[in-house]
A and B are shown apart, each in its own frame.
Chain A
Amino acid sequence: MADGPLILCLPSKGSLSDGVIRLFEQCLIPMRRTRGVRSYEAHVEGFDDVHVLLARATDIPSMLDAEQAHVGITGLDLVEEHLGEGASPIHVVMPDIGFGRADLVVGVPRTWLDVTTVEDLVAVAEDVRHLHQRSIRVATKFPNLTRDFFRRHGLTDYRIVESLGATEGAPRGGHADLIVDLSSTGTTLEANGLKQISGGTVLRSQASLVGAGRPSMWTPAQLATLGRLIMLIEASLTARRQRVVRGLFPAPGPSADGRVAVDGLCVESTWSDAGGLVQVLGRAEVGRVPALLSALLDAGSVASSVDEPGLLVSAGSRALPRFRTHLGM
């Protein structure tokens, strides 16, 4: 697969797909589906050396394994479940790209009033074994993550019921006693007579950027293209966390050389106008902005403003270097 475009595999539908479309718009590289017969392909504006394949989110980890694509965006839950099979060369490049949040949780019947923690569940599994001579049954689409979680909590006496459709209905339908499933708000659990328990979060999941992990897949040019994509995604994440703040000071400004920060505000540029005003420009984490505005006022600024940026690029990203180390390239 050397020397071709970077092949990027993205979810074709559902909330992950909507999230990707919004992310790419925010990165100013809108994605356009190729019209016509080959509708499972797309193009990213400004990235002529990227070829987009659209696929089901669940299939993306195996497509990376099969070397059908270089990178993909899909849920971390699906990636970790796939890695739980063992022997997969895929590598999580960015575990959190800011959308698609959902937790993989244990859901038990609300009627199990005595079960409020995972330790309770372990004890109940033993009770069920003694009283009913069978294992508790767990419905899930995530058998590997479930096994790993229960093993860590010392729960071994259970059976996994593979669930294909609506997992949360399994206990009511009598197919299982409890479930391990995704929940973003808890309402689906509740509607099915289930509840979460303390310590019962198997995995906190969100959309992640995942790379094919075999060095033979990659050329330096493709890695460079991936680096540009990572830069934009990181810039959009930073832009969500930070605001651009400016303050106007009477000349010569808060200090003679214009390089002094006000309460940690990093000075990015200054200019002076004819009227003798100096502008101090910088960025700050959202939570710090109100305090910073007061500090600017106290330091003698005559006016200040806050802007919501579209993209904020910073040097020093570790995502690509880490991936290069993984590949040994």
Chain B
Amino acid sequence: MSPEPPIAGIADVSGAEAVRAEQVAASLRGLFQRYGFTPVVPPILESAVPFLDRSGEDIRRHMYIFTDPSGRELCLRPELTIPTVALYGRRAPDAPEELRAYYVGPAFRYAAPVDGGARQLTHAGIEVLGAADTELADAEVLAVAQASLVEHGVRPGRLVVSDIGFLQAAVQTDLLSDRSRAALARAAGDPDDLAAALDLAAAGPAEPDEGSELDELVAQLPDSMRAELLDRIIGGLEPESLGIRTAGEIAARLVSRSAARPVEPVPSSVDAALRALLAVELPLTEGLDRVGALADDLASPALAALVASWRRRVEMIAAYGIDPAVVTLRLGLRRGIDYYTSFIFEIEDPETGDDPLCAGGRYDELVGRLTGRGSVPGVGFGLAVEHLVRLVPPAADGVSTVVAVVVGEDASIPAVTCVAVASALRAVGLACRLAVGSSPADAGAAAGADGVPVLVTVGAQSSLSVVGLRSGVAIESVTIDGVAEAVREALDG
């Protein structure tokens, strides 16, 4: 039987690559712990529902969903923010309000756009849940994200920030009619959608089709009776063929769809200001000044207030040692994730500039929606360890978890003697492996190739020779009792 073809995007990791991945994961854990985060291990297998409900198109489209034998819809978790938030909600009722959690574990996405289409990636990240000082927490998350690259010798790409609220606040202006305001507010959750809505409004009424004619009709109904009337009309039609939906739902969506079409043109001053806002891509402080000026143009107090709250966030970011001048404010930043409510950011890949290396943001409504615990603020970031490992400069002297290789001088040396030597090293925490049956020359060459720094050769009468392969130190006639000390000496040179 021929072997099954490999699954695209699922990679075997072994050898030096696996060692590096483990080292990077371990040092990320150390970093997160230094900032006072504690580990969480949510399940890999999750109910599909929260992800389908809350995550957003970029994730939904790439989920592994299946039905288990009991008929329940499950998925392989596509990310770890929602599982961490769900875990927060499942804790004992008397658990403290604030949870500072970190995770390192696998996540699965079908043909994920990042990382060369990898379908299984190790996500590492932090979530700050229930911390009242939101600007401080945002700055801290940004700082940890930055440190997770810098501490591994990776030069961070551009650090880009934005706020979901900027565009939403901007359209809350009295310069727009109620109808246009409602239509643009619907699109303001996503910069691309808002740009499209402005284009649509500027283009004037489209070629009428069945949908637009219906929207036009619905829009002409008096506000107070729109939904009620439609509900009655639809309810009177073939109730057996509504499928899962109700007449009320269809009526409600007809009303909202008709309202989402900006039938009247947006005033040119507002159109220009909104487009200028979408185009903002400036160093943080300058960018905020620009947004503040546009808030005046738009006569939007909500936007002005948001800019003011950002001034404090900038202070906190600076306090964490990140120069605001190297942070880019880009209002066109979109994350494709529905649960973010305000602050969002990504750190670009320094080499490709496209797929972000780290990404995160604030999701103040997610906790309440998933756990029913009321309003709990939350912010976090995540990265793919495999993506980071690719950028980490290789260690100069190779990577090995093994400190010493133990080999018999020749075939006459009994294996039990070599085992005794290895046990003596392991007893004091020195990692070693046996090369029984190999010659010292072969074992030394293999050890050197693997980056193992010390070779211990067992001779007759348990007389040992210890050689530092990198340090060049050679110690002869060592006894079993002295082997650990000799290995340390050979290691240090």
A residues apposed to B, CB below 8 Å: 109-114, 116-117, 120, 123-124, 127-137, 151, 154, 156-157, 171-172, 174, 176-178, 192-194, 198
Bound complex: CA A156 to CA B55 (Å): 13
| Cross-chain contact A136 with B244 (CB below 8 angstroms) | yes
Bound complex: CA A28 to CA B243 (Å): 51
Bound complex: CA A131 to CA B53 (Å): 10
Which of chain B's residues have a CB closer than 8 A to the CB of A111?
234, 237-238, 241-242, 247, 250
Bound complex: CA A132 to CA B243 (Å): 12
| Cross-chain contact B238 with A177 (CB below 8 angstroms) | no
Which of chain B's residues have a CB closer than 8 A to the CB of A109?
238, 241-243
| Contact for B245 among A117, A128, A176, CB less than 8 A | A128
Which of chain B's residues have a CB closer than 8 A to the CB of A194?
241
Chain B's nearest CB lies how many Å from the CB of A179? 10
Check if B257 is an interface residue, CB within 8 A of chain A.
Answer: yes
B residues apposed to A, CB below 8 Å: 49, 52-53, 57, 60-61, 63, 65, 73, 209-211, 214, 230, 234, 237-238, 240-245, 247, 249-250, 253-254, 257
Which of chain B's residues have a CB closer than 8 A to the CB of A192?
241
Contacts A116-B210, A198-B211: A172 and B249 contacting too (C-beta < 8 A)?
Answer: no
| Cross-chain contact B63 with A156 (CB below 8 angstroms) | yes
Bound complex: CA A112 to CA B253 (Å): 10
| Contact for A157 among B52, B234, B238, CB less than 8 A | B52
| Cross-chain contact A193 with B244 (CB below 8 angstroms) | no
| Cross-chain contact A156 with B61 (CB below 8 angstroms) | yes
| Contact for A113 among B53, B63, B209, B254, CB less than 8 A | B254
* Interface class of chain B by DSSP: helix
Chain B's nearest CB lies how many Å from the CB of A42? 39
| Cross-chain contact A114 with B53 (CB below 8 angstroms) | no
Bound complex: CA A183 to CA B205 (Å): 32
Q: Could you list some 20 contacts between A and B, CB below 8 A?
A: A109-B242, A111-B238, A111-B241, A111-B242, A113-B254, A114-B250, A116-B211, A116-B214, A120-B257, A124-B245, A127-B245, A129-B49, A131-B249, A135-B52, A135-B73, A156-B60, A171-B243, A172-B241, A192-B241, A194-B241
Bound complex: CA A129 to CA B254 (Å): 18
| Cross-chain contact A193 with B238 (CB below 8 angstroms) | yes
Chain B's nearest CB lies how many Å from the CB of A108? 8
| Cross-chain contact A112 with B240 (CB below 8 angstroms) | no
Which of chain B's residues have a CB closer than 8 A to the CB of A112?
242-243, 245, 250
| Cross-chain contact A120 with B52 (CB below 8 angstroms) | no
Which of chain B's residues have a CB closer than 8 A to the CB of A193?
238, 241
Chain A's nearest CB lies how many Å from the CB of B120? 19
Which of chain B's residues have a CB closer than 8 A to the CB of A135?
52, 73
Which of chain B's residues have a CB closer than 8 A to the CB of A176?
243
Which of chain A's residues have a CB closer than 8 A to the CB of B254?
113-114
Contacts A112-B250, A113-B234: A198 and B209 contacting too (C-beta < 8 A)?
Answer: yes
Bound complex: CA A137 to CA B214 (Å): 26
Report, nearest first, the 9 A-B pairs whose CB atoms are least far apart.
A177-B243, A116-B211, A193-B241, A114-B254, A114-B253, A109-B241, A116-B210, A111-B237, A157-B52
| Cross-chain contact B52 with A113 (CB below 8 angstroms) | no
| Cross-chain contact B244 with A132 (CB below 8 angstroms) | yes
| Cross-chain contact B214 with A110 (CB below 8 angstroms) | no
| Cross-chain contact A178 with B243 (CB below 8 angstroms) | yes
Bound complex: CA A174 to CA B244 (Å): 9
Contacts A130-B53, A154-B57, A156-B60: A110 and B257 contacting too (C-beta < 8 A)?
Answer: no
Looking at A113, A129, A134, A193, the one whose CB has the most chain B CB atoms below 10 A away is A113
Chain A's nearest CB lies how many Å from the CB of B339? 14
Bound complex: CA A198 to CA B237 (Å): 22
Which of chain A's residues have a CB closer than 8 A to the CB of B240?
172, 174
Bound complex: CA A109 to CA B243 (Å): 7
Looking at B61, B73, B234, B243, the one whose CB has the most chain A CB atoms below 10 A away is B243
| Contact for B53 among A110, A117, A129, CB less than 8 A | A129
Which of chain A's residues have a CB closer than 8 A to the CB of B73?
135
Which of chain B's residues have a CB closer than 8 A to the CB of A171?
241, 243
Bound complex: CA A177 to CA B250 (Å): 14
Chain B's nearest CB lies how many Å from the CB of A283? 39
Chain B's nearest CB lies how many Å from the CB of A6? 31
Contacts A111-B250, A114-B253, A154-B61: A177 and B53 contacting too (C-beta < 8 A)?
Answer: no
| Cross-chain contact B210 with A127 (CB below 8 angstroms) | no
| Cross-chain contact A124 with B253 (CB below 8 angstroms) | yes
Bound complex: CA A117 to CA B250 (Å): 14
Which of chain B's residues have a CB closer than 8 A to the CB of A113?
214, 230, 234, 250, 254
Which of chain A's residues have a CB closer than 8 A to the CB of B237?
110-111
| Contact for A133 among B49, B65, B253, B257, CB less than 8 A | B49
Additional 5 contacts, C-beta under 8 A, given A110-B237, A116-B211, A193-B238: A109-B238, A111-B250, A114-B257, A133-B49, A171-B243
Chain B's nearest CB lies how many Å from the CB of A129? 5
